[in-house]
Amino acid sequence: MGTMPENILNNIVESLAESIPKQDAAALFQEENPHSAAPLYNRLLNRQKTVHHVLGGGKSADVLLWRNKKISGSVLAGATAIWVLFEWLNYHFLTLLFIALVLVMLAQFVWSSASGFFSRSSSQVPRLKLPEELFVNVGMVVGSEVNKALGFLQDVALSRDLKQFLVVVASLWAAAIIGSWCNFLTVLYVGFVAVHTLPVLYERYEDQVDSFACQLLGQFRNHYQKLDAGIFSKIAEAKLNAKKHE
């Protein structure tokens, strides 16, 4: 009797073999035009438009692609400052929040106390108030993005596309390993930096990245074909023979 990990692996392989038709598995990584590297990579990413358009266009895409270097640099510098405060200087969110509130109150107190010297009324002291729409919009955006992510994961699980399924599972597994190395804030910061650097680097070196990715996908396709011929086919034949004997 095999060990528990072996039994789990066998169950996964059997489920994949049952869920993927033979003709689909053979054509899973079939290239339509092996002499065109960039179009193949674009098809694999379901991308036939510019990187700017894929990122949603508008100001957010401009920031991610560094169309305005001052704004993009300021956003990245602000995120870095927050990460340094919390991670390197060991500040806590509540500590910074209360210190900021104390500074605001102190500034208002000094302004109000000195208003008599400048013949100004206390009503002219600026008051801080956050709009309620801000919290509503933030909640709606966060909820919408979470639902999109959950919908994407479920679509991948139900699409019977083994290539996409394995890529997503490997990405989640890598994220889980990275999360075990560092805390949640560091993971967020690394992801934020990646989002603000990888798109612009890909846009600048798109041809080189596409060519390299096609080479990796070609190697992965060869390994999958060997796996399909060596394991999936034998599993399918064994199940077919077992059904005949029954």
| Structural domain that includes position 41 | 36-133+159-245
For residue 147, the model assigns a pLDDT of 94
Same-domain check for residues 140 and 121? no
Same-domain check for residues 177 and 187? yes
Q: Tell me the one-letter amino acid at 164.
A: Q
First CA to last CA distance, the chain: 23
Same-domain check for residues 46 and 154? no
Do 51 and 202 form a contact (C-beta atoms < 8 A)?
yes
Same-domain check for residues 149 and 222? no
Same-domain check for residues 94 and 42? yes
Same-domain check for residues 77 and 92? yes
Instruction: For residue 226, give the nearest of 11, 33, 25, 40 by alpha carbon.
Output: 25
Last residue of a domain, one of 158, 193, 226: 158
Q: In angstroms, how far apart are the furthest CA atoms of the chain?
A: 101
How many domains does the structure of the chain reveal? 2
For residue 120, the model assigns a pLDDT of 59
Question: For the segment 225-244, what is each residue's pLDDT rounded down to a tens digit?
Answer: 777 666 656 666 666 666 66
Considering the domain boundaries, does residue 240 fall inside one?
yes
Same-domain check for residues 42 and 106? yes
Considering the domain boundaries, does residue 237 fall inside one?
yes
Show Cβ contacts of residue 48 under 8 Å, excluding neighbours closer than 6 positions: 42
Q: Collect the ranges in the chain with pLDDT lower than 50.
A: 1-6, 8-9, 12-13, 15-17, 19-44
Same-domain check for residues 41 and 138? no
